[in-house]
A and B are shown apart, each in its own frame.
Chain A
Amino acid sequence: MTKASDGADWRPDSPRDGQNGGLRGRPSDRLDLTTSPWRGAFTAAGKHTARVRFLRGAMLVGAAIAIALILGVALFDPFRRLPRNISIGQVSVNGTQITVESPKITGYQTDGRPYEVKARSGLQDTTTPSILELSGIEAKIGMVDASTVEVTAAHGLYDGTQQKMTLQGDVRIWNRIGYDIRTKTATVDFERGSLMSDEPVSVILNGGTISANQMDIRDSGRKVSFEGAVKSLIEADSAGTESTDAPAHREK
């Protein structure tokens, strides 16, 4: 028989109980003389049921939380360490490599000018999450004078931590109203707003063209340096009439 450990300390019934004829109250008054083996059993059973009910609930809830945790870690953890703000299309995962359709990365350069990098597809290895291999790249970099420089390239490597991107394959950098630069490779440093290319480069400007072996654009367009066999053609303004300029683009 379960020994009622704490000894049911039944309170003497208040008259109110008595009236409603609770069976519980009246027999214990009369049978109080002996500690009946059943006396505590009822409450013990009650406690037991309560405990069982609690455990059952706890197990359910615990299982749900565990599943949520595992899912969370599995699904979101690799993305959590991606560059700040990235929006992605369809995602496919194989091994540690995630291929992302039409990724779009936006960020801000040190002085607050925006930049945005879009691509046809991006490949990321979860072991090096801040490196994105992009193909079919279109980037837009806000310049100091609020004009935007657009950059396109066949493919490139975007490093989120250093905010740098190296581009390869018919790289084109152009500013609608200023210049149109063509080269094979280029490295863009978004934070410093600089762009460097150590492959032959050709530039079409409004008033002429420049070609050289290397090019280095510093602090977002304030200084542009060309090196190695620099050839530049400056269209002389047509004599006499000052106003007309001859921005004829002559393909070199």
Chain B
Amino acid sequence: ISPALAQKSNSGGVLPGGNSKEPINVEAAKLDYFDKEQKLVYTGNVVATQGESKLKATTLVIFLTPKDAGEPAGAPSSSSQMRRMEAAGPVTVISKDQIGTGDSGIYEKSESKVYLIGNVTLTQGANVTKGDKLIYDLNTNQAAVTGRVRSMFLPSNSDDANHKKPAKTQ
């Protein structure tokens, strides 16, 4: 079961709910940039925000598209884009009213999907779903929790909010 959200989907940014026009702000205690492997390793309460979406983790590794030979060392080249992100330590992804947590997270640009892996919980408003793995499709903004799934839906008795709150688009 996937508490799909009816959201006008724009081509997803890097973080669930974010849109890719927004720059990504990443803050951390330490950042190591490895030029040969073209990767950025953030460590120490990492907070990555894109638009309204936020990802928190203890370490975040961003892999950039490999540079072609002859690109200057010492800096990501202009053509380098983020192709994959790996977050570790308890990972929390917040996107508007959805909060997903898990042991580790992966963003794969080629599939434009975000995975949360390892005792995952996805809360949306009052509804909580637990499982082993959460797959969030950035294009359709649909989150699917797989593995041993346990969901809890609270009947929302307040009259104004109908069962599925349509998320506001930016």
Give me the interface of A with B, judged by CB distance under 8 Å. Answer: 143-145, 147, 149, 175, 177-179, 205-208, 210, 212, 217, 220-240, 242, 245, 247
Contact = CB atoms under 8 A, between A and B. Distances in A.
Given A147-B72, A222-B36, A228 B29 contact: yes
A240 B73 CA distance: 28
Interface in B62-96: 62, 70-82
A237 B22 CA distance: 9
**In the complex, the 9 A-B pairs of residues with the closest C-beta atoms, listed nearest first:** A221-B74, A178-B75, A206-B78, A221-B73, A179-B75, A239-B20, A147-B72, A178-B72, A224-B33
Contacts of B19: 239
A234 B23 contact: yes
A222 B42 CA distance: 17
Contact of B20 (A225, A231, A233, A237): A237
B121 interface: no
Contacts of A232: 25-27, 31, 40, 42
A239 B24 contact: no
Nearest to A240: B11
A220 B73 contact: yes
Interface residues of B, number: 39
B10 interface: yes
A223 B21 contact: no
Contacts of B62: 234
Nearest to A205: B75
Contacts of B75: 175, 178-179, 205-206, 221, 224
Given A175-B72, A206-B77, A245-B78, A230 B24 contact: no
B33 to A, nearest CB: 4
